[in-house]
C-alpha cells in the first residue's frame, strides 16, 4: 500500500498538538503552583488584592493571630502565626480563598524570618519577603512560623495582609478582597543605658568626683555603682574599666573582673582606691567602655588631695614623758626646763 505525503505528515501533526497541550498544561500547573502575586498586601508602597479582584459581596475579614502573644514580641523568639480569611457570603466548601502578607519594620523593610507552612510559600520581590497562598483553595486558614529579629532592640513591627474570598470560577470577578494589619511592639523596648552612682548621688558622663584630702600613703576606697537603666533594657556589656591621667598611679581599681554584663534594671559595683604618695592635688580619669550606643566611653574625673601627716611631738621633764592631756605640778617653782621633741 502506498502512503501519501499527507498521510505521513498527519501523525506528526498529532504529535506536536499533543506536545503543545502537554506543555501548556504543565505551564498552567506551574503557574497555579507559584506563590500569590507580590505587591498586593496593603503595606506602604503596595496596592491590594482589589487591584485585580472585585465584584464580590459581603465583607472579607482577614485576621492574624500569634501563639503566646497578642501585641508584643520578644527578640530572637519564634511564633506560630495563623492567618484566617472569612466572608459570610463565601463558604469554604464551594468557594476559594487566598492571601498575601508582609512583615515590615518602621523603615518599611522586611524583618524577622518567615518559614512557610502547608499551602503557603515565600517569595522575595523588591528586597521584601512576601508570604502567600500557593494556590487559591477551599482552605481559609494557613499556619506558618515567624522568628523575631535576634537584635535586642528592633522597635515596632507591622504585619500587613490582604485576604481574598473568590467565587471559585478562576476569574477575577465575583471576588471580595479585604485588608488587615497588626503592629507588634518589642517586649524589651529600651536599649541598654549606662549610668553611674556613688553613695546614691548621680554622676553623669564627663562629671567629676572628689575624694577630698587624705594623708599621704593612706587608702580611701569609694564604690561606684554602674547601672543599666530600665528594667526592660537590653544587656549592658562592659568591656573595660580603666584609669588614666597625670596621677593614675595614685588611684587603683580594686574590683575584678573589669569585664562584666549588667541586666536591665541592675547594677554592678566597682571600687576605686585613692592612695596619694605625696602632698598636693591629684587627678585621674575613670573610663568605662561598654556597648551603650550614645555614652561610650563613660568618663568620670577623679580628684583628690594628699597631705603630710600631722607632726608628732613628745614632751619630757626630768626624764618623764607627759602625754597629751597629762598634768604637771610646778609646786613652788617658778620655772622648770622641759624637752620637746618632734617625732615626725
- The number of C-alpha atoms within 13 Å of 174 and in the hemisphere containing its C-beta is 9
Answering whether pTM is above 0.85, one says no
Structural domain spans, the chain: 33-186, 194-307, 313-342
- Exposure of 331 by Cβ count < 10 A (0-12 exposed, 13-18 middle, 19+ buried)? exposed
Nearest to 48, CA basis, from 171, 161, 188, 194: 161
Let me know: does 58 contact 89? Beta carbons within 8 Å: yes
| 162 grid coordinates | 490582604
**pLDDT digit string, tens, across residues 275-314:** 999 999 999 999 999 999 999 999 999 999 999 988 787 8
Residue 335: its pLDDT value, please?
77
CA-derived radius of gyration, the chain = 41
Q: Which residue has the cell 503543545?
A: 20
Residue 14: its pLDDT value, please?
56
Residue 260 and residue 144: Cα distance in Å, rounded? 38
CATH number of this structure's domain 194-307, picked from the four choices 3.30.450.20, 1.10.287.180, 2.60.40.10, 3.40.190.10: 2.60.40.10
Phi, then psi, of 25 in degrees rounded to 5? -60, -45
Residue 310: its pLDDT value, please?
80
Residue 196: its pLDDT value, please?
98
- Adjacent-strand bridge partners of 290: 238
Q: Do domains 33-186 and 194-307 have the same CATH topology?
A: yes
Residue 148: its pLDDT value, please?
92
Report how many helices (DSSP H) and strands (DSSP E) the chain contains, helices first: 1, 24
Residue 48: its pLDDT value, please?
95
**pLDDT digit string, tens, across residues 129-180:** 999 999 888 889 999 999 998 775 568 999 999 999 999 888 899 999 999 9
The DSSP element (H or E) to which 260 belongs, if any, is: strand 260-262
Collect the ranges in the chain with pLDDT lower than 50.
1-6, 8-10, 15-16, 18-34
Domain 33-186 homologous superfamily, CATH: Reeler domain (2.60.40.4060)
Nearest to 147, CA basis, from 179, 181, 180, 110: 110
Amino acid at each position: 500500500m502506498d502512503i501519501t505525503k499527507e498521510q505521513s505528515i498527519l501523525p506528526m501533526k498529532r504529535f506536536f498538538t499533543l506536545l503543545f497541550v502537554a506543555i501548556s498544561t504543565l505551564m498552567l500547573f506551574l503557574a497555579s503552583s507559584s506563590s500569590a502575586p507580590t505587591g498586593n498586601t496593603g503595606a506602604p508602597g503596595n496596592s491590594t488584592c482589589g487591584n485585580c479582584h472585585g465584584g464580590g459581596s459581603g465583607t472579607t475579614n482577614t485576621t492574624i493571630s500569634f501563639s503566646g502573644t497578642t501585641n508584643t514580641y520578644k527578640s530572637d523568639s519564634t511564633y506560630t502565626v495563623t492567618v484566617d480569611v472569612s466572608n459570610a457570603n463565601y463558604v469554604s466548601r464551594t468557594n476559594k480563598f487566598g492571601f498575601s502578607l508582609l512583615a515590615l519594620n518602621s523603615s518599611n523593610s522586611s524583618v524577622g524570618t518567615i518559614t512557610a507552612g502547608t499551602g503557603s510559600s515565600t517569595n522575595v520581590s523588591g528586597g521584601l519577603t512576601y508570604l502567600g497562598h500557593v494556590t487559591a483553595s477551599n482552605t481559609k486558614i494557613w499556619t506558618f512560623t515567624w522568628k523575631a529579629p535576634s537584635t535586642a532592640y528592633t522597635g515596632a513591627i507591622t504585619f500587613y495582609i490582604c485576604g481574598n474570598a473568590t467565587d471559585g470560577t478562576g476569574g477575577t470577578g465575583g471576588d471580595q478582597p479585604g485588608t488587615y494589619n497588626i503592629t507588634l511592639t518589642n517586649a524589651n523596648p529600651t536599649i541598654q543605658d549606662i549610668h553611674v552612682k556613688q553613695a546614691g548621688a548621680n554622676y553623669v558622663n564627663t562629671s567629676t568626683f572628689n575624694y577630698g584630702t587624705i594623708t599621704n600613703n593612706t587608702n580611701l576606697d569609694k564604690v561606684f555603682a554602674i547601672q543599666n537603666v530600665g528594667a526592660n533594657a537590653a544587656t549592658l556589656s562592659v568591656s573595660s574599666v580603666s584609669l588614666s591621667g597625670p596621677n593614675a598611679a595614685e588611684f587603683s581599681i580594686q574590683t575584678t573582673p573589669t569585664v562584666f554584663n549588667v541586666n536591665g534594671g541592675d547594677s554592678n559595683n566597682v571600687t576605686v582606691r585613692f592612695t596619694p604618695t605625696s602632698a598636693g592635688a591629684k587627678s585621674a580619669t575613670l573610663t568605662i567602655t561598654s556597648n551603650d550606643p550614645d555614652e561610650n566611653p563613660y568618663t568620670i574625673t577623679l580628684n583628690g588631695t594628699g597631705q603630710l601627716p600631722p607632726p608628732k611631738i613628745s614632751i619630757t621633764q626630768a626624764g618623764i614623758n607627759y602625754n597629751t592631756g597629762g598634768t604637771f605640778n610646778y609646786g613652788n617653782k617658778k620655772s622648770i626646763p622641759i624637752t620637746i621633741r618632734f617625732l615626725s
